[in-house]
Amino acid sequence: MKKVILDLSMSLDGYIAGSDVTPRQPMGVGGERLHEWIFKGKTHIDGKILEEVVSSSGAVIVGGRTYAIAIDDAWGGASPFSMPAFVVTNQNPEKAISGFTYVPEGVTAALDKAKEVAGEKNIWLMGGASIAQSFIKAGLVDEIHIHIIPVLLCCGTLLFEQIGMKPIELERVKMEESSGATHIWFRVVR
């Protein structure tokens, strides 16, 4: 059964990016630290976890702001994903990039399109915060995979800032640790 899985790196104090996010600094001030477990500090455990996310996913959904900030510099003008990617955006970008489908109709439409191509694989929801919050508020997330990085960013973009006032119950289903991150998988209790 395919699931919608929110998968993000986060500082211990809840930030998924530092302050002053720009195309030249797509993770904001100090935010690159959140992805060291994926790149320069990657261990065998981290590599296995990252491979599991990629191999189990048949489509990825990103927000329009994440796309606009990352596409030219961080992603080098090309899709970094090995699967179809859907961008939830208010308007189509001036320059369309192969591998991306732009969805101005909102999160539900993006999810429907992603499900069409994902087959029996999962839908990987990778951010940013606004798109993650929209999916959580709409009750469209099945699992949350958080990679907690041992750093306090103290400011920036909070992941769980705009998700409503009603508690959302989670069940921890798995946890692994590496030198650079504590990886925790939660199931959203319905």
Q: What is the pLDDT along the chain (190 residues), one digit of tens a residue?
A: 699 999 999 999 999 999 999 999 999 999 999 999 999 999 999 999 999 999 999 999 999 999 999 999 999 999 999 999 999 999 888 878 999 999 999 999 999 999 999 999 999 999 899 999 999 999 999 999 999 999 999 999 999 998 888 899 999 999 999 999 999 999 999 9
Report d(CA 115, CA 6) in Å as an integer: 15
Buried b (16+ CB within 10 A) or exposed e, 83-94: bbbbbbbeeeee
pTM: 0.94
Which pLDDT score, from 0 to 100, does residue 78 have? 95
Which pLDDT score, from 0 to 100, does residue 47 have? 96
Tens digits of residue pLDDT in 160-183: 998 888 899 999 999 999 999 999
CA distances (Å), 135 to each of 22, 66, 119, 143, 157, in order? 24, 15, 20, 11, 17
Characterise 56 by phi-psi region: left (phi > 0), alpha (psi -120 to 50), beta (else).
alpha
**HSE-up of 116 (CA within 13 Å, CB side)?**
9
Which pLDDT score, from 0 to 100, does residue 164 have? 83
